[in-house]
Each structure stands twice: as C-alpha cells, then as structure tokens.
Amino acid sequence: MRIECPGNVRLQDHLLGQGIHILTACGGRGNCGKCAVKVVEGTAAINTMDRLWFTEAQLAEGMRLGCQVYAKGPLVVEIGD
C-alpha cells in the first residue's frame, strides 16, 4: 500500500490519523524493526536506529523504521506487501 504523507508531521501520527496501523511491537522505540516502511518519494533522514536494522543498500532503497520517521517535507511511503 502506498501512502502520501504531508510535511511537518511524524509519519506514525499521520498513519494513525488515517486509520492505518503499522506494527509497533516495541512502542515506537526503534527496538523491534517491525514497523519497516519504504520511502519511495521524498527524503527521510536516517537515524541511528535505522542503521541498526537496515543495510546500507536497504537504506539507499529508502527503508526506514516507520516509528522513527519525521516527514520534514511530503513523502510517499510503501507499507506492507
């Protein structure tokens, strides 16, 4: 599923506002890796927790921990299958 996210919002807050729930087994602390999303348009900063869960190649493809993404600008993300 592709989701558009506006800027200046936490991705997770936007998804919840749309009634979309991603797996957040660790409560959004970056410890479980269950909330993986793929950023296909726009730019999402890579943080320390992303680097624990994804390879450089995956990060380059846009993989991020959904719970950690703050959209500074508009994003399009792929969630799930």
Instruction: Mark 7-18 as b/e (b = at least 16 C-beta within 10 Å).
Output: eebbbbebbeee
Positions touching ligand FES (CB under 6 A) are 24-26, 28, 30-35, 65, 67
Of residues 16 and 25, the one with the C-beta less far from ligand FES? 25
Of residues 47 and 74, the one with the C-beta less far from ligand FES? 47
- The Cα 51–Cα 5 span in angstroms is 23
Shortest approach of ligand FES to residue 49 CB, angstroms?
7
Of residues 52 and 60, the one with the C-beta less far from ligand FES? 52
